[in-house]
């Protein structure tokens, strides 16, 4: 490759330092923001021997925290409003599957009451979300 001043440069002399600088800055940005992108409500799930659930968008996820707060996806609801809300949501959904994440420290009786409200709302399939057992 000839330049106007008559000198010849090969492509191997391209300065890649700016490219490396930009890539390192992007890497740092992604490392800092990735933990902030985690979705959902913090619950300490019980462990069970089961296949892992592939979290997909559009799935209805009911979360029960250890202080007995109920969320549908990220929206808080009372136990009384849970059934009515689910019934309204199910009327517009093709996928009738609902997943339940309950903290392992929630009293069993409260989880059963939540499950009862879910079934009374007409949910056909209720899946329980757990953590896999350590190996």
Q: Convert the pLDDT of each residue in 1-47 to its tens digit.
A: 555 665 565 666 778 888 899 999 988 888 877 766 555 555 555 55
**pTM to 2 decimal places:** 0.57
Buried b (16+ CB within 10 A) or exposed e, 62-95: bbbbeeeebbbeeeebeeeebbebbeeebeeeee
Which architecture does CATH list for 47-132?
A: 2-Layer Sandwich (3.30)
- Between CA 29 and CA 34 the distance in angstroms is 8
The pLDDT of residue 56 is above 50: no
What is the three-class DSSP state of 122? coil
**Domain coordinates of the chain in residue numbers?**
47-132
Query: Could you read off the pLDDT of 75-118 as tens digits, one per residue?
Result: 898 888 888 888 888 777 777 788 888 888 888 888 888 888 88
């Amino acid at each position: 490759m000839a330049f106007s001043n008559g000198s010849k440069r090969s492509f191997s002399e391209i300065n890649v330092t700016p490219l490396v600088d930009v890539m390192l800055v992007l890497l740092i940005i992604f490392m800092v923001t990735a933990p902030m992108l985690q979705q959902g409500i913090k619950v300490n799930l019980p462990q069970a021997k089961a296949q892992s659930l592939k979290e997909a968008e559009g799935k209805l996820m009911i979360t029960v925290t250890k202080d007995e707060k109920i969320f549908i996806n990220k929206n808080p609801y009372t136990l009384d409003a849970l059934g009515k809300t689910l019934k309204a949501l199910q009327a517009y959904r093709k996928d009738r599957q609902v997943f339940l994440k309950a903290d392992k420290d929630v009293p069993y009786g409260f989880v059963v009451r939540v499950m009862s409200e879910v079934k009374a709302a007409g949910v056909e399939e209720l899946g329980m979300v757990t953590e896999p057992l350590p190996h």
